[in-house]
A and B are shown apart, each in its own frame.
Chain A
Amino acid sequence: QVQLQQSGPGLVKPSQTLSLTCAISGDSVSSKSAAWNWIRQSPSRGLEWLGRTYYRSKWYTGYAVSVKSRITINPDTSKNQFSLQLNSVTPEDTAVYYCVRSEQWLNNWGQGTLVTVSS
């Protein structure tokens, strides 16, 4: 059974970088059938897909247009995990962030991390 365990700070100052990590058990980040996503949820923006990374003989990434200039999602094969970095955050980036495994749909969700952007 696949489980995703998120970690990272719950408070980030404006203009700084939001960093979260998602540790995977029960699957490999290098799986050739899965993709590894970050999704956030806030009252103002609802559920918003941010991006994903996946391996199909080489690594691919894809990002939402709304955050494309500020986001990086990286796999870490040595630790079987993947990460999210979101630069230059503002209070509008305050949300619950989820890491999510997908194959043909969004199958497995992490527990969620509330990240507040505030000074």
Chain B
Amino acid sequence: QSVLTQPPSASGTPGQRVTISCSGSSSNIGNDYVYWYQQLPGTAPKLLIYRNNQRPSGVPDRFSGSKSGTSASLAISGLRSEDETDYYCAAWDDSLSGWVFGGGTKLTVL
């Protein structure tokens, strides 16, 4: 059971906007930044969003992040077929003194 809670699946049609939620607690999301990773099959996770809402260079502005209290969201606008893959949220947990992750959300582009 993952420390952070994500929906196991999400879906949308091309061009649509979808959001993926991530719920935590006061010892992780409520006390620190949230990070989002995209994982293509057979590859390591790739940083998509850092410090709640910042995009690394090279990440399209279709991807955006937000945080409120002990929850966070990843939004993908203008959905494209290549966005169909797995997404994970992560945060540092002060109580556990380690990184914690969501269980991952598999995004399907219909």
Interface residue A105 (Cβ < 8 Å from any Cβ of B): yes
Q: Which of A39, A46, A107, A112 lies in contact with B99, CB distance below 8 A?
A: A39
Given A105-B33, A105-B35, A106-B35, verify A49-B47 contact (CB < 8 Å).
no
List B contacts of A106 (CB < 8 A): 35, 37, 45, 47, 90, 99
List A contacts of B97 (CB < 8 A): 62
Q: Is the contact region of chain B dominated by helix, strand, or loop, or is it mixed?
A: strand
Q: Which of A40-54 contact B (CB under 8 A)?
A: 46-49, 51-52
| Chain B nearest Cβ from A114, distance in angstroms | 10
A-B contact count (CB 8 A): 50
Q: Which of B39-71 contact A (CB under 8 A)?
A: 43-47, 50-51
Q: Count the B residues whose beta carbon is within 8 Å of the partner chain — how many?
A: 22
| Chain B nearest Cβ from A56, distance in angstroms | 15
Interface residue B24 (Cβ < 8 Å from any Cβ of A): no
Q: CB-defined interface of B3-18 with A at 8 Å, one 1/0 digit per residue?
A: 0000000000000000
Q: Which residues of B contact A (CB under 8 A)?
A: 2, 33, 35, 37, 43-47, 50-51, 88, 90, 96-104
